[in-house]
Structure 1
Amino acid sequence: MPSVEENKLKKRNKILDAAYNLFAKNGINTTPIDEVVKCAGVAKGTFYLYFHDKYDLMDQIILYKSAAIIKSVIAQMKNINTDNKMEAIDQLTFFVDAIIDYMIENKEMLSVISEKSSILYSLIIDNGDDNIKLDFDYLTDIIVKLGNPPENAKKLLLLVSTMIFTTASNAILSRSPFTIEEIRPEIHLAVKKMLA
């Protein structure tokens, strides 16, 4: 039998998933909370146990979905690099490609989080669980291995993440001024120049 905490997490995740799907389909501004709770199968009061308002919910969706992506990509990296012989720059290239590939395959997510990309990093670092912080530590360690000072690693990760997300989102969603296929090599080059 699930514990009380497991039930709470399940309800919260049902709200997050329902809202994500509705926001992706209809937009955040045209999706009322009533529609979110109906789709999630929970009472409106339950919504307010977990979220202050629709915009707090949006921030939590960004955290929830982004954390899942990052965890998945880092798990893939660790699977490939089991002997720790993969060069830091190759790990970074793998990370960039995996994130871009995920974005291409999940365009609906981009439309949901594109307007909030500037807060993505701080949300994950400040509000993420310890596992997410460990994942970010893994990425900052790669940045340090490339010769960057440890005290600058988080700032560099923010710069690179923002650049990748903004550039790739624009290329994927609007295909203007470049498609993702046209701009991907330059994203790689820019990341290498910034970090190596």
Structure 2
Amino acid sequence: MGKIEDKKKQKKEALFHTSFDLFTTKGFSKTSIADIVEKAGVAKGTFYLYFKDKYDIRNRLITNKAGKVFENAYYALERTELTDFTERLLFIINDIIDQLTKDSKLLSFIAKNLSWGVFKSALVQQEEETNLDFYALYLKMIEDSPHEFHNPEVMLFMIVELVSGSCYNAILYKEPMAIEEYKPYLYEAIRSMIQTQMIK
């Protein structure tokens, strides 16, 4: 990478880092592009070289942050000897929950802004520093499984909705119980979902 490309990358990273910091401390609605560029130490025009607007940087931040969380979980899975589809998927979910439990700031940011569309892009359209297409890997896990499923995308959607909708409160507020107590109930529900999606 040349000096110019290196400087461009540094400016983009500064904008990402600053935006995340401001969105998670000041709040998305109270943060302006002027706030971001001032704190990042770049010109306003530089912001528009990389991002269309504040919503664009927020969505790409989610893609970037969520992509890294999935990448970490997948590489952790690769160090195991698990072969069963359900166990592999539960390992990834558990690793993601553990990562988000350790980083409540990231959990709050992702949970408040995550929709299925943004989530799916986080799996498929990685930023340059993330080179893992998790959705393709999920489909490969399905393909390698001895089972066939009615609709793998719907199954993933239901699991994502269940995990994201219920773990947020369990992690941050211990409601209805602490996350470690809640996990067995969650994983039993996920196993049932997978079972009902299997073509007999």
Identify whether the pair has TM-score above 0.5, normalized to the shorter chain.
yes
Q: Does 1:115 align with 2:112?
A: yes
Paired residue for 1:75?
A: 75
Paired residue for 2:2?
A: 2
Letter in 1 for 2:65: K
Q: Deviations over 1:32-55 (max 9, x none)?
A: 222212222211111111112211
Letter in 1 for 2:182: I
Range with greater deviation from structure 2 (2-11 or 185-194)? 2-11
Letter in 2 for 1:63: T
Kindly tell me: are residues 138 and 99 of structure 1, through their superposed partners in 2, closer, same or farther at Cα, counting changes over 3 Å? same
Paired residue for 1:99?
A: 96
What is the root-mean-square deviation of aligned Cα atoms in Å? 2.3
Shift of residue 91, structure 1, vs aligned partner: 1.3
In 2: Cα distance, 1:110 partner to 1:164 partner: 12
Paired residue for 1:132?
A: 132
Q: Deviations over 1:43-94 (max 9, x none)?
A: 111111111221111111100100111111111111223xxx5322221221
Range with greater deviation from structure 2 (169-178 or 186-195)? 169-178
Stretches of structure 2 that go unaligned for 5 or more consecutive residues are 196-200
Shift of residue 6, structure 1, vs aligned partner: 4.1
Paired residue for 1:20?
A: 20
In 1: Cα distance, 2:189 partner to 2:146 partner: 14
For normalisation by structure 1, the TM-score amounts to 0.85
For normalisation by structure 2, the TM-score amounts to 0.83
Kindly tell me: are residues 87 and 17 of structure 1, through their superposed partners in 2, closer, same or farther at Cα, counting changes over 3 Å? same
Question: May I ask how many residue pairs the two structures share in their alignment?
Answer: 191
Kindly tell me: are residues 126 and 181 of structure 1, through their superposed partners in 2, closer, same or farther at Cα, counting changes over 3 Å? closer
Stretches of structure 1 that go unaligned for 5 or more consecutive residues are none
Q: Select the structure that is richer in helix.
A: 1
The DSSP-based 3-state class of the residue aligned with 1:42 is coil
